[in-house]
Structure 1
Amino acid sequence: GKVRNSECVSAAMSPKRRLITDSFKVVKRARAEQRVEKKEEEPPEPPEPEPESRSLTPREKDLQELRKFDLDWRFGPCTGIGRLQRWDRASHHGLDPPREVRELLLKKSADPEYTHCLWHELPL
């Protein structure tokens, strides 16, 4: 049947109704003056990067550059093809891949760590 307006109001105000403040503490907002004061404080100094415990070997530097090449989306996807193939494809399409990467790949063409992309061992 018909539901009276007074019944809806009484149902909404029943003692069974729980409020979010029943479970969580009420936190009052800071006043505008306090917020302005906080903004005027100087920001904390950024943490200084920790010096590396050792410098990278030439091989590690080379592989780091090749990983950067793998992760650079401008040269197209790198899954399913070798790094040199990807470099050639990018060059063919006028995407101007770094010459240093090609020279490095040609110099180390027998080493699979150099020739395969970063995702080579992942089952995609």
Structure 2
Amino acid sequence: MGRKRFITDSYPVVKKREGPPGHSKGELAPELGKDTQSLSQEEAKLELLRQFDLAWEYGPCTGITRMQRWHRADQMGLKPPLEVHQVLKTHPEDPRFQFSLWHLYPL
């Protein structure tokens, strides 16, 4: 019997080009357009609410509004951010602000 064959024996070796100067493989490229200073006020507020949705220390956020979740966390002594409560009070009728990230997904 001869040498054991590998699937890579069937394909030619292709060398990859080096990346742009100053960029190493271990570094992540900065995300385009994600600078917090360039966000509008509304986008910054929505990002704050998204982060609140993703923070599990305040309990689950499915099936209830953000305001209900904030009040529940406050009653349980979990000290939710006051900035979140202020943003929710300033936009009481806007569903983008009141409903969590997961409100469009069925339970």
Same fold (TM over 0.5): yes
- Structure 2, unmatched stretches of 5+, are 8-23
Q: Identity over aligned residues, as a percent?
A: 45
Q: Who wins on radius of gyration, i.e. which is larger?
A: 1
CA distance in 1: counterparts of 2:34 and 2:61, whole angstroms: 32
CA distance in 2: counterparts of 1:65 and 1:50, whole angstroms: 18
Secondary structure of the equivalent of 2:100? Answer: coil
1:49 maps to a residue whose letter is P
1:23 maps to a residue whose letter is R
Q: How does 1:83-102 map to 2 (within 5 A)?
A: 83-102=66-85
Structure of higher RCO (CA pairs closer than 8 Å, 6+ residues apart): 2
Partner of 1:66: 49
- Structure 1, unmatched stretches of 5+, are 1-14, 16-20, 26-43
Which segments of structure 1 move beyond 4 Å, counting only runs of 4 or more? none
- Report how far residue 50 of structure 1 moved: 5.3
TM-score by length of 2: 0.70
Which protein is richer in helix relative to its size? 1
Aligned pair count reads 87
Matched, 1:82 2:56: no
